[in-house]
């Protein structure tokens, strides 16, 4: 089982790396065979190369992340609410999201899932 403090630190590192526009730092949090499903039901990015490309493209929008509540940890999972702010199509917009991370024994993220939909997108 993964250490809860390390899981919480990984979430903070994820948000920090995204805000700094550093896809390599995000990828470093993932296991080599990690998966990203963002949003849930969308295409799954599998492995470091796909994950890097996905985050690099999202970071190009200038989006910023902000935690909107405490990080919840149970077993090998962490869940965290946050907002994404970006300037898109000429206006400021916000998306309210809950992400979940599942960790392996080494403390690497093996699965990320993002929960949001049209009702969580403001200003679009």
Q: How many residues does the chain have?
A: 124
Domain hosting 37: range is 4-122
Percent of residues, the chain, with pLDDT higher than 70: 99
Question: Residues 14, 16, 33, 115: which is the catalytic one?
Answer: 14
Write down the pLDDT at residue 66.
Answer: 97
Q: What is the mean pLDDT of the segment spanning 48-77?
A: 96
- The one catalytic residue in 38, 76, 88, 92 is 38
Q: What residues contact residue 49 under an 8 Å CB cut-off, 6+ apart?
A: none
Q: How many domains does the chain have?
A: 1
> Within a 10 A sphere around the Cβ of 1, how many other Cβ atoms?
7
Average pLDDT over residues 3-11: 97
Question: What pLDDT score was predicted for residue 90?
Answer: 85
Average pLDDT over residues 74-100: 94
Smallest CA-to-CA distance from 12 within 65, 83, 76, 86 is with 65
> Which CATH number covers residue 108?
3.10.450.50
pLDDT of residue 107: 96
Q: Is the pLDDT of residue 1 over 70?
A: no
88: annotated active-site residue = no
In the residue annotation, 38 being an active-site residue is answered as yes
Instruction: Name the average pLDDT for the chain.
Output: 95
């Amino acid at each position: 089982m993964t250490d809860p403090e390390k899981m919480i630190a990984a979430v903070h590192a994820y948000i920090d790396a995204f805000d700094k526009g550093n896809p390599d730092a995000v990828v470093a949090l993932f296991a080599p065979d990690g998966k990203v499903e963002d949003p849930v039901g969308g295409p799954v990015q599998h492995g470091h190369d796909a994950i890097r490309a996905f985050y690099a493209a999202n970071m190009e929008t200038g989006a910023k992340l902000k935690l909107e509540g405490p990080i919840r940890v149970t077993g090998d999972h962490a869940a965290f609410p946050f907002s994404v702010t970006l300037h898109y199509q000429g206006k400021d917009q916000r998306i309210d999201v809950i992400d979940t991370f599942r960790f392996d024994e080494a403390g690497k993220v093996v699965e990320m899932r993002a929960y949001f939909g049209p009702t969580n997108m403001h200003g679009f």
